[in-house]
Structure 1
Amino acid sequence: MRRRPLLLGAVCLPVLAQEAEATRVPLVPGLTVVTALHEPGVGDYESVKRLAARMQRPAPGWRIDYRASLPAGQVQSTRLQSDADLASATVYRSRFESDTEEHYPGSTALGMSAAVLRALRTSGSTPFTVVEAPEWLRQPASAGAGALALARALTAVELLLRGELKAAVPPTGTQPVLVNGRVVDLSVRWAEGLLTARDGTRVAVRLAVLDDDANPLALAWRIAAAQLTVVRLDWPRPDAGTALAGELKRTGRAALPGLYFDFGQATLQPGSDATISACVQALKSLPGRWRVEGHTDAIGREPANRALSLARSQAVRQALVTRDPALAARLESSGLGAVRPVGDNATADGRARNRRVELVQL
């Protein structure tokens, strides 16, 4: 049986432009990182990490909200990430393991620290540790099971993979990612190594991180048989409503950035609020009637894809009307499934481009 490709529930944008640049990804409130993952024993799933707010306690840094749609169910968690660890930690702990607030001093959650990246750039190698967890610990906890999940996290034997990370050959390259609605070839630095577990098992690790000391975000990695690829990056833009209105006026259609859905679902996640507000602002400045169009990738059966795309378009329309009831007479919705792809359905980033919601002038 053919293995099912990585699936993402988040709506993404079509290709608006192809760029090759060292675009910076700022650490700002609202920065959202959408990833496609595959883990043995878990399967294919998506995760969404969002910089929710700055914090001052227990140390200056960030609160990261995490949401994942695993085949077995939903996982929600929060991680406290200190500025000091973003600067100098040599431990990478990418997994959000429980349904409670997490704080792991001495580690990073989004990628490498600036010190690790600089060491790779200047000397070509650096000590590095990856923290894994038993597979059962990664399963979603049931509602109200936060105390149990925390107890398990505190008592479980973690899998520490320690060793030396070295610059790959070649050490630099690019990684295509949807960045605020545009496909950008982000400049990355590749690193790899054989890390060793406590029992002597050696595990191959390969990572691509954003080549930026201010935010060495992990854009792709492979740890043993597990894989991660960042397919989308969004962060708030103060001119989002004006920019959307301009595109709609020029072309009569536009994809809506910053909309997030759970895997196979049509309920908008709270992180979608800024985009809904920008869309309402844009529509208030434009005349006429508009259609909210939903699109999917080509995974699954077409009847199901059409139903999902319609349900998502209806959810977006309802959110817009709830925000501004006057839009009810100006908006209709439709779902087109996978019949109008804008990316390659054979790749994770291509499928991400195909999952989108658009506004189209009637």
Structure 2
Amino acid sequence: MKPIAKLTCCLALWLPMLAASACETGQTSRVLDGKARCVAAAKPTPPAPAVRIPLLRGLATTTAVSGPKGDEEQVATIVSADAERIALSVDFRSPGKVGIVSRTRQMRRADLASSNRLNHVFQTGDADSFPGSTMSRLSSASLAALKRDGQIPLVVGTVADRGKAGQDLLGLVPAGRKYFRGVLTRVPNAPATLTVRVNGKPAALPIVRGKGRFSVGADSIELELDVLDDAANPMVLRMRQDRAQGQTVRIDYPSPKPQASVLETALATSCRAELNGIYFDFGQATLLPASKPALDAAAQLMRAKPGWTLRIEGHTDSIGNAAANQFLSQQRADAVRSALITQYTLPAARMTASGFGASHPVASNATLEGRAANRRVELARTCP
């Protein structure tokens, strides 16, 4: 290469750098039309805010297992929380059972902080607390050690071969609880998030996955857990034990902004809003007690907007035949309307009820979380 060519080459390489050094703060150099120019620097994308699930009274968690007749569910609601302990009320809903089976469980704050025992089944005759253990969540110390060391010793109170006849996949068992011991090892390259519907909106919750084989005597189980990566509330969001798997599909909790205000904003702008936090018995139109906060919010909205008339819409997932789904969705819409009329003395003329079955999905029916999103009640108003 000739000297002049070398000089031209070098100048071409250095000119953008020289221009960059002359750019003002907040600007960067770009070559436009063959010339180096100062332009506004692209702002870095801020990291997504951390999702926190507060451990407080009113937190309701829905866990589902896929079954041939539909998604078997349980709803665990924190009914009290103080400095010493929290108390859960768990409603089991599954096909082939009449009504709802409810159980209670208390957990000490000290165990939530440091226990390495996970007791996640209920059986007849259980006490309402098992000091030294947690349920449906690891302790803060166990999560920290799993992240730091890559493994933790764990004791799991459960039964072998979940899913046999007479055993509920979600943890209600007639008898036979044993305490299995083993090591939970963090799974490398596991998914970093799990999508869960939080207060009516899909949220990618950060998770830590652990897996291990646990045994007692001649019995052994393989366990895999997806744990919410939050030291303040390391909830088990997905649990696979041998052939059975349960996954958290909905989390509802009292937010700083009242739900009535959220409903009012949505109905004022888009004329439609999901009535988040409505729970029914499996395949039925029986409202569960955990639905009260959502009904309270709807009643508060109706009183705040006396000129509004609303249509209450019921929706289902696609499991089952279309006619049965349409009938169930209509019954559920009717049940919400009836509750608002009888329990809150709202005028019947201000509300109608319609069922749409599975004809208006908002998510894929191929997944547990998608079907959970499709099983919903919405409010709609006629906008001018």
TM-score bin (small chain): 0.7 to 0.9
Please state whether the residue corresponding to 2:284 is helix, strand or coil.
coil
Task: Tell whether the 8 Å contact from 1:308 to 1:335 is kept in structure 2 after alignment.
Answer: yes
Q: Which amino acid aligns with 1:49?
A: A
Match of 1:78 in 2: 104
Match of 1:22 in 2: 50
Task: Tell whether the 8 Å contact from 1:80 to 1:101 is kept in structure 2 after alignment.
Answer: no
Task: Tell whether the 8 Å contact from 1:21 to 1:187 is kept in structure 2 after alignment.
Answer: no
* Deviation of the 1:302 alpha carbon: 0.7
2:255 aligned with 1:237, yes or no? yes
Q: Which has the larger radius of gyration?
A: 2
Task: Tell whether the 8 Å contact from 2:299 to 2:346 is kept in structure 1 after alignment.
Answer: no
Q: Which amino acid aligns with 2:55?
A: L
Match of 1:35 in 2: 63
* Residues 183, 43 of structure 1: alpha-carbon distance in 2 compared, 3 angstrom cutoff: closer
Counterparts of residues 86-97 of structure 1 (less than 5 Å): 86-97=112-123
Q: Structure 1 CA distance, aligned partners of 2:186 and 2:142?
A: 11
Counterparts of residues 53-202 of structure 1 (less than 5 Å): 53-54=80-81, 60-73=84-97, 74-98=100-124, 101-133=127-159, 138=167, 157-170=176-189, 173-199=192-218, 201-202=219-220
Q: Which amino acid aligns with 1:230?
A: T
1:218-263 per-residue CA deviation (whole Å, 9 max, x = no partner) reads: 0001111111100000012352111211111111010101111010
Q: How many residues are matched?
A: 327
Structure 2 gaps, min length 5: 1-46
* Deviation of the 1:162 alpha carbon: 1.1
* Residues 38, 82 of structure 1: alpha-carbon distance in 2 compared, 3 angstrom cutoff: farther
Task: Tell whether the 8 Å contact from 1:55 to 1:63 is kept in structure 2 after alignment.
Answer: no
Q: Structure 2 CA distance, aligned partners of 1:44 and 1:339?
A: 18
Q: Which amino acid aligns with 1:220?
A: R
Q: Which amino acid aligns with 1:213?
A: A
* Residues 136, 346 of structure 1: alpha-carbon distance in 2 compared, 3 angstrom cutoff: closer
1:75-105 per-residue CA deviation (whole Å, 9 max, x = no partner) reads: 2110111111111111111122237652111
Please state whether the residue corresponding to 2:123 is helix, strand or coil.
coil
Q: Structure 1 CA distance, aligned partners of 2:239 and 2:269?
A: 39
Q: Structure 2 CA distance, aligned partners of 1:99 and 1:46?
A: 22
1:273-329 per-residue CA deviation (whole Å, 9 max, x = no partner) reads: 111111111122332321100000000011110111000000111111224434311
Match of 1:46 in 2: 73
TM-score w.r.t. length of structure 2: 0.79
Q: Which amino acid aligns with 1:209?
A: V
Q: Structure 2 CA distance, aligned partners of 1:120 and 1:257?
A: 34
* Deviation of the 1:158 alpha carbon: 2.6
Q: Structure 2 CA distance, aligned partners of 1:339 and 1:346?
A: 15
Q: Structure 1 CA distance, aligned partners of 2:247 and 2:365?
A: 15
Q: Structure 2 CA distance, aligned partners of 1:39 and 1:129?
A: 28
Greater Cα shift, 329-338 or 21-30: 21-30
Q: Structure 2 CA distance, aligned partners of 1:342 and 1:101?
A: 41
Q: Structure 1 CA distance, aligned partners of 2:372 and 2:293?
A: 20
2:329 aligned with 1:298, yes or no? no
Kindly report structure 1 stretches of 4+ aligned residues shifted beyond 4 Å.
Answer: 134-140
Greater Cα shift, 70-79 or 87-96: 70-79
Please state whether the residue corresponding to 2:292 is helix, strand or coil.
helix
Please state whether the residue corresponding to 1:170 is helix, strand or coil.
coil
Task: Tell whether the 8 Å contact from 1:52 to 1:65 is kept in structure 2 after alignment.
Answer: yes
Task: Tell whether the 8 Å contact from 1:20 to 1:184 is kept in structure 2 after alignment.
Answer: no
Task: Tell whether the 8 Å contact from 1:294 to 1:310 is kept in structure 2 after alignment.
Answer: yes
Q: Structure 2 CA distance, aligned partners of 1:20 and 1:95?
A: 35
Q: Structure 1 CA distance, aligned partners of 2:262 and 2:334?
A: 24
Structure 1 gaps, min length 5: 1-18, 141-148
* Residues 109, 217 of structure 1: alpha-carbon distance in 2 compared, 3 angstrom cutoff: same
Q: Structure 2 CA distance, aligned partners of 1:100 and 1:310?
A: 38
Q: Structure 1 CA distance, aligned partners of 2:51 and 2:93?
A: 29
Q: Structure 2 CA distance, aligned partners of 1:53 and 1:93?
A: 20
Q: Structure 1 CA distance, aligned partners of 2:67 and 2:112?
A: 26
TM-score w.r.t. length of structure 1: 0.84
1:143-192 per-residue CA deviation (whole Å, 9 max, x = no partner) reads: xxxxxx9xx98xx5433221111111125610000000110000111111
Q: Which amino acid aligns with 1:115?
A: A
Q: Structure 2 CA distance, aligned partners of 1:161 and 1:22?
A: 34
Counterparts of residues 242-281 of structure 1 (less than 5 Å): 242-281=261-300
Task: Tell whether the 8 Å contact from 1:173 to 1:187 is kept in structure 2 after alignment.
Answer: yes
Task: Tell whether the 8 Å contact from 2:221 to 2:242 is kept in structure 1 after alignment.
Answer: yes
Q: Structure 2 CA distance, aligned partners of 1:335 and 1:39?
A: 24
Q: Structure 2 CA distance, aligned partners of 1:121 and 1:178?
A: 25
Q: Which amino acid aligns with 1:266?
A: A
1:25-48 per-residue CA deviation (whole Å, 9 max, x = no partner) reads: 0011010000002699x9952101
